[in-house]
Amino acid sequence: MVDTFNEAAHRAASDAEHIAWVDEQDNLLGSLVRSDLRERGLIGRGTYIMLFNSAGELCVHQRTFSKAIYPGFWDVAAGGMVLATETYAESAARELEEELGVSGVELTAHDHFFFEDTGNRLWCSAFSAVWDGPLILQPEEVLQARFIPIEQVMQEIEQKPYCPDSLAALKRYLSARGGDVAKDL
């Protein structure tokens, strides 16, 4: 269990990161501190990595309560904001390793779309990966994680708070595959 001090320090460091700032067409305008981008309602870039095991189960995790957006919510994707110096693919690889301890896997790019919600305006790139190894959770960002069947995920999203941005990525992913997760595994 992470202590509140470490979570708060991690949140402060995260809010100070320089994030890619983009326009409505995803053209890079420069970089801004994450908290400034969010407070001003400007558009950033985000990545979403849906992590499956070879049985086709999806890794879902619960976010810590210190997160600025969707604290304590469940999430169907690892991911986060793209730093000013990164590509979407570089950000996806970094976030997957930071949050779930998964590295050295092939990331498959799937979708690029705009998402907007209260306090969250992003150009998003969705990826997937397959992993059967252990998960090493980043305690400042992830409370718990587990692999579950897609059918169970779809039931849980009706009962528990799930992040709407990553749900948009998952629903677009499933729609493009006719609901067949195994198509890409």
On average, the pLDDT of the chain sits at 91
Question: Considering its fold, how many domains does the chain have in total?
Answer: 1
Residue 63 lies in a domain: yes
Range of weakest confidence among 99-103, 118-122, 180-184: 180-184
For 66-98, write each residue's pLDDT tens digit: 888 899 999 999 999 999 899 999 999 999 999
As a whole-number percent, the residues of the chain with pLDDT over 70 amount to: 88
Residue 60 lies in a domain: yes
For 119-130, write each residue's pLDDT tens digit: 789 999 999 999
Question: Among residues 130, 126, 159, which one has the least CA distance to residue 55?
Answer: 130
Own/partner contacts of 4-8, CB < 8 Å, gap of 24 or more, are 4/66, 6/139, 6/140, 7/64, 7/65, 7/66, 7/140, 8/66
- Bigger pLDDT: 13 or 103? 103
Residue 185 lies in a domain: no
Annotated binding residues, as ranges?
A: 95, 99
Residue 66 lies in a domain: yes
Residue 126 lies in a domain: yes
The domain spanning residue 151 has which CATH number? 3.90.79.10
Residue 158 lies in a domain: yes
Range of the domain at 119: 4-177
Residue 124 lies in a domain: yes
pTM: 0.89
Annotated binding residues for Mg(2+), as ranges?
A: 95, 99
Residue 182 lies in a domain: no
